[in-house]
Amino acid sequence: GDSVTQMEGPVTLSEEAFLTINCTYTATGYPSLFWYVQYPGEGLQLLLKATKADDKGSNKGFEATYRKETTSFHLEKGSVQVSDSAVYFCALSDLTDSSYKLIFGSGTRLLVRP
C-alpha cells in the first residue's frame, strides 16, 4: 500500500541555519503531497502542498518540490527561526477517487536554538 517515509528526528539547528527535512513516498497512483506542522500543544496546520510533478509548494519561507522521478517531497527553509520549532509531518493523498484520506509519515521534530 501507499506509504510515506520521513527522516527521523529530532533535528536541532541554530537560528538562521538552513533546514532540510527529507520525505519520500510510495504510491500506486498519482498522489498529492502535503506538509503539515504541529506546534507544541496545538492542532495540525497545513503548511504547503503540491498536486503534480514539479509543482513547488511554498508558505512562510518553507518550500517543497514534488519530484516524481525520485518520489520525494523534501521540505526546505533557508533560515529557520526559533518559532519554527515544531513537529513536521509529510503526507500523501490519492485524490483521484475524490477521497481526502491522508497517509502520514512518522513526523520530524525540529528544535531551533537561539
Partner 1 sequence: SAVISQKPSRDICQRGTSLTIQCQVDSQVTMMFWYRQQPGQSLTLIATANQGSEATYESGFVIDKFPISRPNLTFSTLTVSNMSPEDSSIYLCSVGRSGNTIYFGEGSWLTVV
Residue 62 engages partner 1 in binding (rule: CB under 8 A): no
Residue 40 engages partner 1 in binding (rule: CB under 8 A): no
Closer residue to partner 1 in complex, CB, 71/104:
104
- Rounded Cα distance, 79 and 62, in Å: 9
Closer residue to partner 1 in complex, CB, 5/71:
5
Residue 34 engages partner 1 in binding (rule: CB under 8 A): yes
Stretch that binds partner 1, among 17-25, 58-66, 72-80, 97-105 (CB under 8 A): 97-105
- Rounded Cα distance, 30 and 58, in Å: 20
Q: How many residues bind partner 1 (CB under 8 A)?
A: 23
Distances (CA, A) of 26 to 19, 31, 72, 77, 94: 23, 9, 9, 24, 11
For residue 80, the Cα-to-chain-centroid distance in whole angstroms is 15
Cell representation of residue 103: 497517509
Q: Of 4, 46, 32, which Cα lies nearest the Cα of 95? A: 32
Residue 100 engages partner 1 in binding (rule: CB under 8 A): yes
Residue 74 engages partner 1 in binding (rule: CB under 8 A): no
Given candidates 25, 35, 66, 89, which one binds partner 1 under the rule CB under 8 A? 89
Residue 70 engages partner 1 in binding (rule: CB under 8 A): no
